Structure 1
Amino acid sequence: MDCVGWPPGRRWHLEKNTSCGGSSGICASYVTQMADDQGCVEEQGVEDSANEDSVDAKPDRSSFVPSLFSKKKKNVTMRSIKTTRDRVPTYQYNMNFEKLGKCIIINNKNFDKVTGMGVRNGTDKDAEALFKCFRSLGFDVIVYNDCSCAKMQDLLKKASEEDHTNAACFACILLSHGEENVIYGKDGVTPIKDLTAHFRGDRCKTLLEKPKLFFIQACRGTELDDGIQADSGPINDTDANPRYKIPVEADFLFAYSTVPGYYSWRSPGRGSWFVQALCSILEEHGKDLEIMQILTRVNDRVARHFESQSDDPRFHEKKQIPCVVSMLTKELYFSQ
């Protein structure tokens, strides 16, 4: 929704591969880079201006966080133990697995007429940027386009039933229209909780105590942010074999593009504010900063660097702030 459009640069052509979970699946191994002058697919909804931002909500809705005396030999032993522990800190998730994990991107652009939802122009730019960004981190990325509610449920249920024993974590990115607590499939709405519940600790055992990350680009209501001017201990059965329970909702992280009740902004020419900021920060610091540090910087980037531009005064010069809900129990670094 900025005034000046960016040059198109290079695009990625995502080829369909039926072996990747359906005709809408797209695998990393089937991605080829193509120049803009070599037949890139044009965005739908060309009537939308690339300079005017949109919101992921219904079009008719306009109302609007050791002892000093220890012997030398003992000191050497203590230092040795400390060094060993530092190699795998207990306060960090263990990322030393064969794979980083799977990343599923659900990119809903077109919607059935009955939903009353418009084409989400700019979302393909988000999907392409996220594909390249998460693949560069080490994820196995698959993109699915224009999924129905049943298809979204089926995709995530099957993903939760896969064997993630050799994976460090799991990520899912939802790009669609939305309202509070729900997200749109191409044919209607489905509760976000129903999609994420497949990965609870009691249902997806191979991801138990591993981070499960959900990034959601969608509106969560119809409010608009005008902005304001500002100056610059486990219980053990035995000592030898400790057993403990993990809350089934633990180790989840939800990164929403906006706070509850508010619109989420998207530029048809450049993609959504949240995804632009997320990809930018991940490219800069994805392998050296902890996930909450990354998302805090994303919050700052969106809050300070974006402001809507619209011919409709009701939607002009509006702001946005993402929202992170974390049930992670350890620090998360994508680097191994």
Structure 2
Amino acid sequence: SVTTGRPSLSPLPQKTIWDAKPYTGSTFSSGNSGLTAASSVRPSSSYSSPSTSSGIVRSPFGSTSSTASSSVERYNLRDQKGYVLIFHHKHFKNAKAIREGSEKDLQLLKHIFTKYRVKKPDICENYTVLRIKDKMRKIAEKDFSKYSCLLVIVMSHGETKDRIQAYDTLYNFEQEVVERVLTNTTLKDKPKLFFIQACKGSATMQHDVTSVATNKNDMLKCYSTYEGTVSLRDTSLGTYFIQTLFTLIDEQGDKDVADLMILTRKRFKDDKVPQAPTDTSTLTKKFYFRDLK
């Protein structure tokens, strides 16, 4: 049955496991290290903001701005349907890597999106890398002029550097999914939201990916966890990230999606879940899920 509320997060049950990379060679690995560290960087004390007696701050880069902030617009989601693309990975070539409980996340997503003005979710289950590439080639060529937005949800094992586990091997999410979406000119100026449920820790090897020079405005990427750390999944209830965030979306869709991510992190903190969802945004307007109802 569909989970209608967020899972009981504290204390963590013994059946809670990681959405880590499932194997290295023929060896199954169920966990990752969670080491993340950064040095504090402070701006140079020699710089002082230029200003005038009129109260207008003059930027050293040439633009001027009044001390009063202008209101932020909202994306128009009321006139057209949204498009939802879901990559759900439960089974893998390595049978030991099965993601027990992930079907609960898919059930929740199906249930929630029946309440919204979106095209029936385009669900891709247990795809190989070649099938993912072929699907994204079609998405890159699809005419989205009759849609208000694109939502992409990925649920699988993962590693650092945006690498996601397909049925057979790893692929680079930024390169194979995000960049493909950004090349579609019919999605220009429309919000493109990506939600990734996967670990981001303990890679055995890393590759630098040269990013294509695409327009990266009007995009939001939400990750279930911080770079270098694991992501929790309950084998009976589903993942903490998908269950918490999308229940909040369902219950409080009148809030901007950025605020919903803050609420998600707060719930994780309050429930002492050792995981910190993150997001990267280039959205230029507010995004309210309620506008899709």
- Cα-to-partner distance string for 1:196-222 (whole Å, 9 max, x where unaligned): 11111xx21111001101100000004
- Cα-to-partner distance string for 1:238-271 (whole Å, 9 max, x where unaligned): xxxxxxxx97011111010000000000000000
Deviates more, 1:188-197 or 1:126-135: 126-135
- Structure 1 CA distance, aligned partners of 2:235 and 2:167? 19
Is residue 330 from structure 1 mapped to residue 285 from structure 2 by the alignment?
A: yes
- Structure 1 CA distance, aligned partners of 2:32 and 2:281? 31
Letter in 1 for 2:241: F
Hey, what does 1:98 align to over in structure 2? Answer: 80
Secondary structure of the 2:110 match is: helix
- Structure 2 CA distance, aligned partners of 1:271 and 1:61? 16
User: Are residues 111 and 93 of structure 1, via their aligned partners in 2, closer, same or farther at CA, if it must alter by over 3 Å?
Assistant: same
1:254, 1:326 within 8 Å by CA — same for their partners in 2? yes
Is residue 271 from structure 1 mapped to residue 238 from structure 2 by the alignment?
A: yes
Q: CA deviation at 1:56?
A: 1.1
1:1-336 equivalences in 2 (<5 Å): 10-11=1-2, 51-57=14-20, 58=22, 59-60=28-29, 62=31, 64=33, 91-99=73-81, 101-113=82-94, 118-140=97-119, 141-180=121-160, 181-194=162-175, 195-200=177-182, 203-222=183-202, 248-286=215-253, 288-305=254-271, 307=273, 319-336=274-291
1:131, 1:143 within 8 Å by CA — same for their partners in 2? no
Structure 2 unaligned blocks of 5 or more? 4-12, 23-27, 34-70, 204-212
Q: CA deviation at 1:61?
A: 5.7
- Structure 2 CA distance, aligned partners of 1:63 and 1:268? 18
1:147, 1:185 within 8 Å by CA — same for their partners in 2? yes
Structure 1 unaligned blocks of 5 or more? 1-9, 13-49, 65-88, 224-245, 308-318
- Structure 1 CA distance, aligned partners of 2:73 and 2:2? 40
The structure number with the bigger radius of gyration is 1
2:18, 2:31 within 8 Å by CA — same for their partners in 1? no
Q: Which has the higher contact order (CA 8 A, sep 6+)?
A: 2
- Structure 2 CA distance, aligned partners of 1:301 and 1:90? 27
Q: CA deviation at 1:124?
A: 0.6
Q: CA deviation at 1:138?
A: 2.3
Secondary structure of the 1:143 match is: strand
Q: CA deviation at 1:304?
A: 2.1
- Structure 1 CA distance, aligned partners of 2:272 and 2:232? 9
Q: CA deviation at 1:334?
A: 2.6
Size of the aligned set, in residue pairs, is 228
- Greater helix fraction, Structure 1 or Structure 2: 1
User: Are residues 126 and 204 of structure 1, via their aligned partners in 2, closer, same or farther at CA, if it must alter by over 3 Å?
Assistant: same
- Structure 2 CA distance, aligned partners of 1:159 and 1:328? 21
- Structure 2 CA distance, aligned partners of 1:173 and 1:54? 20
TM-score (norm 2): 0.72
Q: CA deviation at 1:62?
A: 4.7
Root-mean-square deviation (CA, aligned residues, Å) is 2.4
- Cα-to-partner distance string for 1:65-103 (whole Å, 9 max, x where unaligned): xxxxxxxxxxxxxxxxxxxxxxxx86221223231x110
- Structure 1 CA distance, aligned partners of 2:158 and 2:287? 28
TM-score (norm 1): 0.63
1:61, 1:222 within 8 Å by CA — same for their partners in 2? no
- Structure 1 CA distance, aligned partners of 2:190 and 2:222? 17
Secondary structure of the 2:150 match is: strand
1:258, 1:322 within 8 Å by CA — same for their partners in 2? yes
- Structure 2 CA distance, aligned partners of 1:322 and 1:90? 25
